[in-house]
Amino acid sequence: MYKNDSVLPFFGLLLAVAFWMMAYYDGLHLAALAGHPLEELSGGQFGLITFGALFFIYGVMGYVSYWLEGDELRPGRHESPNSFWAGVTIATLVIILVALSGLLVQTVIYWANTGPVSYGFAGRLTGYILLDMAAILMIYKKYFVAEVVIAEDEHSEVPW
């Protein structure tokens, strides 16, 4: 709560791993009781994976914010570092994005005309595309966008 550090996001990731491990062991226990792997998640597993996902997202976002915005803001305009290699990385990620998007379109066409593809593949492919887009924006913001920090008057007229 003191500053935008990476301590709580680290514990967020740690909690995510703990929740997912609990869900995994819960699944093993239920499968042992039933005598076979179950086709669906139990209510408990669903809750554990949900909290695991929430804390994972929070942890990742916390680290991203720490990397992009730092742990403390200082008023003023801070110019971006403009790195050549950051530009190369963005270009590479854009090429990967185009390739993945092409694969996504092919997947939809195959699914509509031939038959279903694995749900896991479809979900992860979409996930990779979104992750790639996030990475492009992150690098662009870090290396090519000047950081502006303002100290607004507490009694500003926004929104009234």
Segment 19 to 58, residues that bind other proteins, using CB under 8 A: 39-41, 43-44, 46-47, 49-51, 53-54, 56-58
Q: Which is nearer to other proteins, 87 or 125 (CB)?
A: 125
Phi and psi for 140 in degrees, rounded to 5? -60, -45
Q: Pick the binder of other proteins from 18, 22, 73, 96 (CB under 8 A).
A: 73
Cβ pair 52, 19 in contact under 8 A: yes
Kindly tell me which of 6 and 87 has the beta carbon lying closer to other proteins. Answer: 6
Size of the site for other proteins (CB under 8 A): 68
What are all long-range contacts of 99-104, with beta carbons under 8 Å and residues at least 24 apart? 100/125, 100/128, 100/129, 100/132, 101/129, 104/129
- Distance between terminal CA atoms of the chain? 29
CA dihedral 34, 39, 45, 49 (to 10 degrees): 150
Segment 93-132, which members bind other proteins (CB under 8 A)?
107-108, 111-112, 116, 119-124, 126-128, 130-131
Contact positions vs other proteins (CB under 8 A): 1-4, 8-9, 39-41, 43-44, 46-47, 49-51, 53-54, 56-58, 60-62, 64-66, 68-69, 72-75, 107-108, 111-112, 116, 119-124, 126-128, 130-131, 133-134, 137-138, 141, 145, 147-154, 156-160
